[in-house]
Amino acid sequence: MSVPHHGEDRVAIVRRFNRFYTRQIGVLRKTFLDSPYSLGEARVLYEIASSDSPTASEIARSLDLDPAYLSRVLRNFEKRGLIQRRTSPKDGRQSHLTLSVRGRKSFMPLDARSQRDTAAMLAKLAPGDQARLIAAMCTIEKLLGRASPAEPAPQRSYVLRPPRPGDFGWIVNRHAELYAQEYRWLEPFEGLCAQIVADFVNKNDPIRERCWIAEMDGENVGTMMLVNDGAEVARLRLLLVEPKARGLGIGARLTDEAIRFARAAGYRKITLWTHSVLTAARQIYQKATPMRSEEHQSWGQPVVSEHWDMDL
C-alpha cells in the first residue's frame, strides 16, 4: 500500500485502506476461502461454533447483521443439515443454535484453512514487521471499538495468534525458567514440558488440536495447548502467562478460546491436570470440576496434583 499522498484528506485515506484490506482478505470474492460459503455465511458459522448455543438475536447483535438476511442464512443452513435448533427454556420464541455433526465437519476445515492462510500471510513478513502489523491492527481495533469517545482505552492490549518458528522452544524454555523461579521445580519438569511440546509438533492434528500464543508489544507473554485425549475428550496443556502480563485476563482468554475451539471440534469434555500450588491457574479453571487429587514427590518438591473435568 502506498504512503498517503500530499494533501490527501483523512476520509480518502481511510477509504483507500478499506479498499486495500477488503481485497487482501477476499471480501468481494463469491465464496470464502474456496468454500461453499460467502464471507457472511462463514462468519455466522464461526459465531455459532465459537459461542455457547447463541440465539439468532445474539448473532445479529454480535455481527451487526440485518435480521432478515440472518434469517435466510439460518434457514439455508438448516435445510443443509448444518445447524440444530433448541427452544429456549426461558423464552419459547427464541431458539438456541448449535452446529450439527455435518456442520462441524464443514466448519473445521474452513477454520483450519483460515488459520493457515493468516499464518502464511504473517510468515511473509520479518518478525519486526509482524509486530508492527499486529500493533497497528490492535490500535485500529482499540480506537474504533470504543463504546464512546469518552471511554478510556485499555492500558495494554494483546493478541492471540498461532505459533511461529521458535515459539515451541520458547514454550519449553519459559515453563522451565518460571516454574524453577516460582516453585523450585527442577529438570524433570522441563523434560515433561519438552515431551508434551514434541508430541504436539510431531503428531498435531490441526482440525482437532491447537496451540495459542499471546503476544503483547511484539513479545510472547502467554500460551496454551489443546490436544486430543481420545474418546471425544480434549486436554488442556501448558498454560503459562508471563508475570508482567498477569492481571490482564490473558489466562482466562486462552482458556475461553480453547473451550470454544473444543466445542466447535465436537469434543464432549475437556480435562486437565494441574497442581494445588498453581492458585492463579485454578481460578481460571473455575468452569471445570475437580475430580480427584493425589500427593506425590515430583520435580524435586512435594506436590498435590489435581485432575479437573468440564462437560461441553
pTM: 0.57
Q: Report how far Cα 89 is from the mean position of its chain's Cα atoms.
A: 29
Quick one: pLDDT at residue 149? 47
DSSP letter for each residue of 266-310: T-SEEEEEEETT-HHHHHHGGGSEEEEEEEEEETTEEEEEEEEEE
The DSSP call for residue 155 is: S
**What residue ranges do the domains of the chain occupy?**
156-311
Tally of CB atoms within 10 A around 292: 9
The Cα 256–Cα 250 span in angstroms is 10
**CA proximity to 169, closest of 238, 268, 73, 251:** 238
φ/ψ (deg, to 5) at 98: -140, 160
Is residue 60 within 8 Å of residue 67, measured between CB atoms? Answer: yes
| Interstrand relation of 301-311 and 83-87 (parallel, antiparallel or unpaired) | unpaired
How confident is the model at residue 228, as a pLDDT? 95
With a cut of 70, list the residues of the chain below it in pLDDT: 1-8, 146-156, 274-307
Rounded CA separation 131/221 (Å)? 13
In 3D space, the residue among 206, 233, 236 whose CA is nearest the CA of residue 223 turns out to be 236
CB contact at 8 A, 192 and 306: no
Write down the pLDDT at residue 298.
58
Nearest 5°: the CA angle 277, 274, 210 is: 135
Residues 63-74: pLDDT tens digits? 888 989 999 999
- CATH class, domain 156-311, is alpha beta
Model pLDDT, residue 147: 47
267 CB-contact burial (10 Å; exposed 0-12 / middle 13-18 / buried 19+): buried
Q: For residues 259 and 49, give the distance between their C-alpha atoms in angstroms, rounded to a whole number.
A: 11
Position 281 scores a pLDDT of: 54
Query: CA–CA separation, 168 vs 186, rounded Å?
Result: 20
